[in-house]
Chain A
Amino acid sequence: MNAGQSRYGYVFVSGYTLLLLAFGLLPTLYALYLSFTRNGAFVGFDNFVKVFGDYRFLPAVMHVALYVLFWLVSLIVLVVVLAIVVHGIRVRWLGNTARFLFYIPGAIAGASSVLLWLFVLDPSVSPVSALLHAMGYESLVNVVAVGNLPVVFTIIAFWAGAGSWIVIMYGALNNIPVEVMEAARIDGAGPVQTAWHIQLPMLTKWISYMGVMSLAAGTQLFVEPKILAQATKNIVPEDYSLNQLAYLYAFRQNDFSGSAAISVLLLVVALGLSAIFIFRGKLFERD
């Protein structure tokens, strides 16, 4: 280590480190502080106890858990299947086109994708209105009934997010040596056996990456129920997800401590997942 060089090291990382402190560490510490205090006085776990006791808390946890479950299962199964199927296409332009078409919805994120899906799920204007009518839905309000929401949010999230994962899995499949695939075929393995015994094991690292990232993101559910609540005049409840509840605490009840308590809970989940992944997994290890 060279003292002169090392000094410049600090200069080069200084701007980023400031932002990291200001918008990574400081808000986390401040949220921790707020969650353990009320009006400046230390109150131990009181804020957490209050939030846990809120009649809206448990339903919100269940809503988010159910959505995350649906979302993870469908993501893992369908992304792997689609990646293997697309990888199996032997006509080059066809495979490229399929991947491209799958990933393009990724451009439409956030509020825009929810708005688009409002149209798609509204039987009066939907491009698949025949399908919705056949399933017995006459209006948007029927479609987004609370019981349907985990599936609705799964579809929206899958539509926007699956494509880029398919592209990534496809890339991982390309890394399997041609000789290995060839050997499997000569040994008489069909496409299903090859997928199960050779391709799937090669993908596990990426599947776990996708799983952890999606699990963490899923617990954060906010914009989808927020906009659906707005569009349906609160038939979709405005306290459907945990982040919405934290939002209501801060903005409706002016209870920043309660809001911080929920944020801290969600942050602990996200940090835990991310830390486990970095310290146990090998994906991001470089030195």
Chain B
Amino acid sequence: MTDLTTRTIVTNGARPRRERTALTPGQWIGRAVVVLVLLVFTAFFILPIVWLVLAPTKTNNQLLLDGPFSFGSFDQLAANWNELFAFGSGVFTTWMGNSAFYSFAALAITLIVSIPAGYALALIEFKGRRLLLVTTLIVMLIPNTALVLPIFLELSAMRLIGNPLAVILPFSFFPFGVYLTYIYFSTAVSRDLLNAARIDGAGEVRVFAQVAMPLATPVIALVGFFSFVANWNNYFLPFLVVGGTKIPVQVGLANLLANVPAFNPTTASSIVIQLPTLALATLISVAPILLIFLFAQRFLVEGMTAGGTKE
């Protein structure tokens, strides 16, 4: 890329030459292979999503008989929408609401505890700091599902099963957020700056609130992004610890499946869900995350590469 831009400047706006020189047969084949690989994988990644966006516009018959990428009608989309939201007297709305409640409540607690913790780990000396840091790293790298059954067993011993707190509190424990904050404060804020404030007579709380916090907006957004996405998409923990009308949409989706005659011909329920309606439910369940992803690619990369900033 850099190559292309410099060349364009050197040739004074003329077309870059290198792209135009005759290719040897070997290079031709190489290019063709590259283009083919890109097309195949683009199709692989994108076609399922395109299909998912189009499916809710069709009737069950259209879905089975028409081309997979045809558009049905807006009327049918509305009909499927109504069927979905009427299902079980509007239980889908309840599920979406639960997901939002759990995700935001946990996000709030995560931010309240992680930002000061990451700050202290990065900029304050205290005994046990190193131990806390290493523990955080180790827990951060184990998949969150590894602790789900032990957490369930613990919550069950504490008689918290079925309580919204059984979802919110474990969600709030987000070591990755502490790690991101730690990295941010140890690279973006200097100890000298804090010491200057201390010499001016500011106490520790004021140093944190008035010097560090105003600089922390980027990392708050970053931690918020990762925490929200992780909470919203989590299936295993809420599946175990809440039931009935308290389940979030990820768990609810799987329950919807039990009412789809196409997948469960012997379904006992008298109220059935048609395939296009299930597709619509899937689409709506991911819509918030999809929207966040569309606007936050930068966050994703920054967060996932945070460990590699120092060589």
- Give chain A's interface residues, CB within 8 Å of chain B: 1-2, 4-13, 15-20, 22-24, 26-28, 30-31, 34, 78, 81-82, 85-86, 88-92, 95, 98, 100-112, 115-120, 122, 124-129, 140, 159, 163-164, 167-168, 171-172, 178, 182, 190-192, 205-206, 209, 212-213, 216-217, 219-220, 222-223, 226-227, 230-233, 243, 246-247, 250, 256, 259-260, 262-263, 266-267, 270-271, 273-275, 277-278, 283-287
Contacts and interface: CB of A to CB of B under 8 A. Distances in A.
A103 to B, nearest CB: 7
B218 interface: no
A284 B68 contact: no
B116 A171 contact: no
Given A117-B48, A168-B301, 7 more contacts: A16-B116, A24-B173, A82-B37, A107-B293, A112-B282, A122-B262, A125-B55
A142 B132 CA distance: 50
Contacts of A10: 126
A247 B55 CA distance: 34
User: What secondary structure prevails in chain A residues at the interface with B?
Assistant: helix
7 contacts: A13-B117, A28-B150, A102-B41, A104-B49, A105-B48, A112-B233, A223-B236
Interface in B182-237: 183, 186, 204-205, 208, 229, 233-236
Nearest to A279: B134
A28 to B, nearest CB: 6
Contacts of A171: 301, 305
A273 B304 CA distance: 18
B241 to A, nearest CB: 12
A260 B154 CA distance: 11
A82 B41 CA distance: 9
Contact of B257 (A22, A120, A206, A230): A230
A104 B45 contact: yes
Contact of A90 (B3, B140, B235, B253): B3
Nearest to B2: A178
A138 B100 CA distance: 39
Contact of B3 (A23, A178, A243): A178
A250 B149 contact: yes
B90 interface: no
A81 B38 CA distance: 10
Contacts of A30: 150, 153-154, 157
B152 interface: yes
Interface residues of B, number: 107
A112 B286 contact: yes
A171 to B, nearest CB: 6
Contact of A27 (B42, B119, B151): B151
B173 A19 contact: yes
Contacts of B44: 159
Contact of B258 (A205, A209, A230, A273): A230
A270 B144 CA distance: 10
B268 interface: no
A98 B38 contact: yes
* 5 tightest Cβ-Cβ pairs between the two chains A and B: A9-B126, A15-B113, A27-B150, A12-B120, A16-B117
B112 A216 contact: no
Given A118-B263, A124-B64, A110 B275 contact: no
A100 B183 contact: no
A217 B68 contact: no
B147 A127 contact: no
Contacts of B146: 216, 220, 263, 266-267, 270
Contacts of B140: 274
B141 A216 contact: yes
B289 interface: yes
A12 B119 contact: yes
B308 A172 contact: yes
Interface in B56-100: 63-64, 68-69
Contacts of B208: 8, 12
Given A19-B173, A231-B257, A275-B138, A115 B282 contact: yes
Interface string B244-266: 00000011011001100011101
B292 interface: yes
Contacts of B275: 119, 125
B1 interface: yes
Contacts of B301: 167-168, 171
Most buried by A among B34, B129, B153, B236: B153
Contact of B169 (A19, A110, A206): A19
Given A9-B126, A22-B173, A92-B1, A246 B205 contact: no
B291 to A, nearest CB: 9
Nearest to A31: B150
Contacts of B242: none
B150 A222 contact: no
Nearest to B119: A12
B135 interface: yes
B277 interface: no
Contact of A105 (B49, B124, B229, B250): B49
